[in-house]
Structures are given as structure tokens and as C-alpha cells.
Amino acid sequence: MAAVNEMEMDKECESRRAVNRDNMAARRQSGTEEEVERHRLRDWQRKVSARQETSSKVPWTFNFALNYLPNRRYQDNPLFATGRVKVICSFCDAYRWPGEPQEICCSNG
């Protein structure tokens, strides 16, 4: 029964969308150039705000390599700050960052 109701709702929804689409197309064709331009601008603003809404839900580091912003100071962010190379291996004299395991260079000799 629920599936039948769902199918009815889908049909109603589809027919409503078709009517809306036809009405909008007719309205746009009858409009002046200024109105058409205003509609285009509104559509563009709607798309931009939808994109911003979507992008605000994911962390700013998501897909980070593809979205590098040259004006952002990454070195101030603890996620990216690696600090200075301070540790020297007593076996092989390799430089390591603090927090790197001792075995990373020569497995302790």
C-alpha cells in the first residue's frame, strides 16, 4: 500500500514539475530582455548559494590538494605545521621530526 501511495505521489510530483516547467518557459519567453537577464542572475545566485551550503558541511581540508588557496597561511594551522627537524638519530645521524618513530631511518642501527 505504501508503495502505491509513493507511486501516486511521484506521478503527482512529476506532473506538477512539468506544469511548472512549461509555465516558467512561457514566462521567460514572454519576458523582456531585462527580465530574462534578471532570471539568469537569480538562477546563478541560487546555484552559488546551493554550492556554498554544500561546501560548508564538509571540513575545509576536504579535497585540500585540489583547493589550495595561495592567500591562506597554512603554516599557522596545527594540522599542517610540521615544526622543525630537531632530532638526530644516534645510530645513523639522520634528521627526524619530533614525533617520528626511532625506527624510521635505520631501525636503530
Contacts to Zn ion by CB under 5 A: 89, 91-92, 94, 105-106
Instruction: Considering the complex, state which of residue 53 and residue 103 has its C-beta at the smaller distance from Zn ion.
Output: 103
CB of 84 to Zn ion, least distance (A): 18
CB of 81 to Zn ion, least distance (A): 24
Rounded distance, CA 41 to CA 87, Å?
57
CB of 105 to Zn ion, least distance (A): 3
Helix (H) or strand (E) holding 29: helix 2-30
